Structure 1
Amino acid sequence: MTTFYHSTRSRNESLTSKQAILEGIAPDGGLFVRDDVAEGAPSLESLLAGTYQDRACLVLGHLLDDFTAEEISGCVDAAYGPNFDSPAVTPVVPCGDDWTLELWHGPTSAFKDIALQMLPQLMRVSREGDGRGVMIVTATSGDTGKAALEGFADVAGTGVTVFYPHGKVSDVQRLQMATQRGKNVAVCAIEGNFDDAQTQVKRIFADVALRERLAEKNVVLSSANSINVGRLVPQVTYYFDAYAQLVAAGKLKSGDAIDFCVPTGNFGDVLAGYYAKLMGLPVRKLIVASNANDVLTDFITTGTYDRRRPFHKTISPSMDILVSSNLERLLFYLSDGDCELVSSLMKNLAEQGFYTVPEHVLERLHETFECGRADDTATRETIRDTWERHGVILDPHTAVARHVLEARPADGVARVCLSTASPYKFSADVLAALGHDTTDMDGFECMDALFEVTGAKVPEALSALRDAQERFSDVVSVPEMSGYVEDAATRILA
């Protein structure tokens, strides 16, 4: 039986998961959800057996149940293979008395690869027989952009346009995007921050006139951001897989509780953990770790989400976000599917800059979610301390989560910190945190020096950037983004 998806803000339209993946975002601006994530979920025992790929087939087959088993298996085989440098795909490694889930062993050295190696496969199957060209439009705070470009590069019938905030990503992140291969890709910086880019991308999807003009050219827009359910669902797998690895190693017994601490800005990564909990993973707490842009910390503490605050440029730039899109999906589930409430809250956020959830929603939130924050000083201290005490080198985003986790007293429940990027994507900041002077050093000199200090292997794809030719240097204002997308779609697909 096919389970249908609808908007978080209404039930006016029901779509299969294939249709929802192609649409990306609902016409009313909401995000696609299904009403009951738990119904018909595979047993925990079945999800603990086999390989990462076996678990991915079960998770995707459950949440995207209009795909056939053969389609899912083909997508999984294509997404998770030699493009990952670990046979475990997402290995769990010890860090003191806790554990670290390394999500950065894919082709772009960031956790986004887990979903963005899969999404092009899901989209390929979804659009079979559709006949239209698909332009993927994505805003990135640093990692999503490269992962989307890498996943969709030269995929037939598909184009990719990526926007990133000018001057607000690391040197390595910028180079990863600016040097991207492929005839169907477009990369552009914007004069603003990630929230500006993400908000404008949503407006582009809601632009009826643009959609009609592109339809005349047989082109449809879709998204690779985690607003797309096809981006979110693959991330659920690594929560089950982390648990399975710990059970297999004898560190847990099946059924034991577990906590996860997640560095997040747009909320998709931690929301995937909530989906895993709904599907039966014995998650006790999901701990949301924020940097100085601590809008989520305040929300989880008080129930009021308020984006009317200073924007801080930090050394963990992928978390420099004040509007966390995927939180809307969580509000839907915490309110027992109250679309009218979610729509009202999102309207308040758009028009007034804040909203406050009802008390019963806040109580439900506190049943599972806890939070903490780390500013740049605490992040640097955690990077240095973790290296000196445990011989583990962390990127600044993972260090935010590690700081938040270590501030909580351990009580015997296994704790896993999600590690979202290779430290070499942020070599200058990591090297400086270890006490080394980086004055007048470029990104590759910092990369080489960090290797000399730590001996940690440099991902080949990052090292190769030093010889790659930059292809993209465009910078536009926020209002110019729509025209840039239309030009790119016309050039690539029409």
Structure 2
Amino acid sequence: MNDYISTRDAHQSVSSKQAILNGISPDGGLYVLPGLDQIHLDLSLICSKSYKENAVYILSHLLTDYSIDELRMCVENAYSNSFSKEEITPVKKVDDVYVLELFHGPTCAFKDVALTLLPQLMSCALKSTNQKALILTATSGDTGKAALSGFCDVDNIGINVFYPYKKVSAIQYRQMVTQKGKNVKVFGIQGNFDDAQSQVKRLFLDEELNAYCAKQNVMLTSANSINVGRLVPQIVYYFDSYKQLVQQGVIQVGDKVSFTVPTGNFGDVLAGYYAYLMGLPVEKFYVASNANRVLTDFLTSGIYDRNRDFIQTISPSMDILISSNLERLLYYASNKDTQKVAGWMQELNEKGRYQVDEQTFETIKNLFACASVDDNGTRQEIHDVYEKTKYLLDPHSAIAYKVAKDNAGRPVVSLATASPYKFSQDVLKALNINEENEWVAMDELSKYCQDVIPAQLKELRDLAILHNQVIDVDSMKDVVCQSTQEVFHD
């Protein structure tokens, strides 16, 4: 079966192109591929191909109404000359952990891997319609800039990004508010990421707003990982990291590896789970959280409860209490029971919590382990790893690294999701150096860091701030209406 269905209703069925254009199912569910676990990729073949070749090979099994030529064109446009490393996502041995570096793209964060490709996939899908698309994206820090960069001045597509005002790093803020492009709008919101994400989901299902947009031939869609076109490109780097371990002689084809993933929204680790369902030999996925340990508590108890204090941390991209992509894991772990998933999501909406049944929980626990690390532990890990190896981790990657180091089951691949330069002040603080100015901090960090300052971060200090609007959550609908006029006016 090649059609995507909703996690909440198996009768909501669409093609992969339509799933990418819709972003979210009309019933509020997320699109999943029921036959995902029937796909078995050839590992030996993957271990002999380049990153781009693997991207085409893997995506051809997931996006079946795209022709091979279309996928090749999309992949070529996305990955040619946009990453500073030839491997796209290189694996480096740091002590006895294998660090998968996902931050060598245009915005120095792992989101680039998917958000250079999603605009290509979306443009290709739009060609078969006569519509335009307005992307609404909530960001906890990295998705915003990566989406803005990927969709900047793409024909027939506009993008609105909503970030939690004063709750992202100084560099993340500058990256977003200096973004050029005639089709981009950036808004700070009074609230946290969950407030922005929840409102964006409501706007997708808002009949009045959709009717207003439809009159102008504009459809609303998403660049968050709730969009399957954002999620599936991330599967590729799991397979590619495995390939690199084989090529480095660390493992042989067929050997199991473990992965440690820093996550708040569950999208990055879910991509690994998808790779596992498609044949990647995985021992364990370690879900690494910061002080917002909602996922740690769920994976320990089977109870998901977002009724807790939101904690602002030095790893802001993980400051999330509603992990949207967990819904997709629940679909597969519950034996594809859309009724159960719909019930849990209704409970989450109404009560802020739900408890999965014992069988579903056992299925999850067999593959997933977890741990959380607070800010002090994160700083200590950055410090200790640097002292021992002279390798610098950012505050997200450090959490994953600590969890990887603390757990048995080797070899383990730890995902490094952002450049240390995006969080220069906090990384320096971990090295016992205090610097109030973010630009001075970046220069200072370059004395310690294994990589030079990326040009795209260095230039930020001289760029003009173009987006300075801060709004409350209730105003998001109004600015979206305004955007359809301003972005798509002839």
**Match for 2:411: what amino acid?**
A
Q: How is 1:338-377 mapped onto 2 (pairs within 5 angstroms)?
A: 338-377=337-376
SS in 2 for 1:109: coil
* 2:472 maps to 1:461: no
The aligned counterpart of 2:440 is 445
How has the CA–CA distance of structure 1 residues 246 and 487 changed in structure 2, closer, same or farther, with 3 Å as cutoff? same
The aligned counterpart of 1:289 is 288
SS in 1 for 2:371: strand
**Match for 2:21: what amino acid?**
L
Give the aligned length: 489
SS in 1 for 2:113: helix
The aligned counterpart of 1:142 is 141
Q: Pick the aligned partner of 1:425 from 399, 409, 422.
A: 422
**In the TM superposition, what is the alpha-carbon distance from 1:41 to its structure 2 partner?**
3.2
**In the TM superposition, what is the alpha-carbon distance from 1:103 to its structure 2 partner?**
0.2
The aligned counterpart of 1:434 is 431
SS in 1 for 2:13: coil
**In the TM superposition, what is the alpha-carbon distance from 1:46 to its structure 2 partner?**
1.7
Q: How is 1:58-457 mapped onto 2 (pairs within 5 angstroms)?
A: 58-408=57-407, 410-411=408-409, 413-438=410-435, 441-454=436-449, 456-457=451-452
- Any gaps of 5 or more consecutive residues in structure 2? none
Query: Which deviates the most, 368-377 or 398-407?
Result: 398-407
For 2:183 and 2:385, the matched residues in 1 are separated by 42
For 1:448 and 1:118, the matched residues in 2 are separated by 31
**Match for 1:447: what amino acid?**
M
Q: Is the 8 A contact 2:175 2:460 kept in 1?
A: yes
1:15-46 deviation line (CA, Å, top 9, x unaligned): 00000000000001000001021324321122
For 1:32 and 1:57, the matched residues in 2 are separated by 21
Q: Is the 8 A contact 1:48 1:244 kept in 2?
A: yes
For 1:304 and 1:129, the matched residues in 2 are separated by 43
The aligned counterpart of 2:465 is 470
SS in 2 for 1:277: helix
- In the superposition, the TM-score normalised over structure 2's length comes to 0.99
SS in 1 for 2:11: coil
* 2:489 maps to 1:490: no
For 1:335 and 1:36, the matched residues in 2 are separated by 15
**In the TM superposition, what is the alpha-carbon distance from 1:367 to its structure 2 partner?**
1.0
Q: Is the 8 A contact 2:97 2:401 kept in 1?
A: no
For 2:427 and 2:53, the matched residues in 1 are separated by 35
For 2:260 and 2:187, the matched residues in 1 are separated by 33
1:143-188 deviation line (CA, Å, top 9, x unaligned): 0000000000000001000000000000000000000011000000
SS in 1 for 2:466: coil
- In the superposition, the TM-score normalised over structure 1's length comes to 0.98
Q: How is 1:24-63 mapped onto 2 (pairs within 5 angstroms)?
A: 24-63=23-62
**Match for 1:424: what amino acid?**
Y
For 1:404 and 1:352, the matched residues in 2 are separated by 31
For 2:373 and 2:414, the matched residues in 1 are separated by 14
SS in 1 for 2:226: coil
Q: Is the 8 A contact 2:97 2:405 kept in 1?
A: no
Q: What do you get for the CA RMSD once the two structures are aligned?
A: 0.9
Q: Is the 8 A contact 2:382 2:395 kept in 1?
A: yes
For 2:40 and 2:277, the matched residues in 1 are separated by 9
**Match for 2:67: what amino acid?**
T
For 2:39 and 2:8, the matched residues in 1 are separated by 25
- Any gaps of 5 or more consecutive residues in structure 1? none
**Match for 2:477: what amino acid?**
S
Q: Is the 8 A contact 1:37 1:278 kept in 2?
A: yes
SS in 2 for 1:281: coil
SS in 2 for 1:190: strand
1:312-368 deviation line (CA, Å, top 9, x unaligned): 000000000000000000000001110000000000001001000000000000110
For 1:70 and 1:456, the matched residues in 2 are separated by 36
For 1:98 and 1:454, the matched residues in 2 are separated by 18
**In the TM superposition, what is the alpha-carbon distance from 1:452 to its structure 2 partner?**
2.3
State the identity %: 51
SS in 2 for 1:104: coil
Q: Is the 8 A contact 1:262 1:289 kept in 2?
A: yes
SS in 1 for 2:323: coil
For 1:453 and 1:331, the matched residues in 2 are separated by 42
The aligned counterpart of 1:20 is 19
**Match for 1:124: what amino acid?**
S
**In the TM superposition, what is the alpha-carbon distance from 1:6 to its structure 2 partner?**
0.9
Q: Is the 8 A contact 2:348 2:354 kept in 1?
A: yes
**In the TM superposition, what is the alpha-carbon distance from 1:455 to its structure 2 partner?**
5.7
1:237-289 deviation line (CA, Å, top 9, x unaligned): 00000000010111110001100000000000000000000000001100000
**Match for 2:225: what amino acid?**
S
SS in 2 for 1:261: strand
The aligned counterpart of 1:481 is 476
**Match for 2:429: what amino acid?**
A
Q: Is the 8 A contact 1:165 1:192 kept in 2?
A: yes
For 1:318 and 1:125, the matched residues in 2 are separated by 30
Q: Is the 8 A contact 1:41 1:62 kept in 2?
A: no
SS in 2 for 1:350: helix
How has the CA–CA distance of structure 1 residues 67 and 316 changed in structure 2, closer, same or farther, with 3 Å as cutoff? same
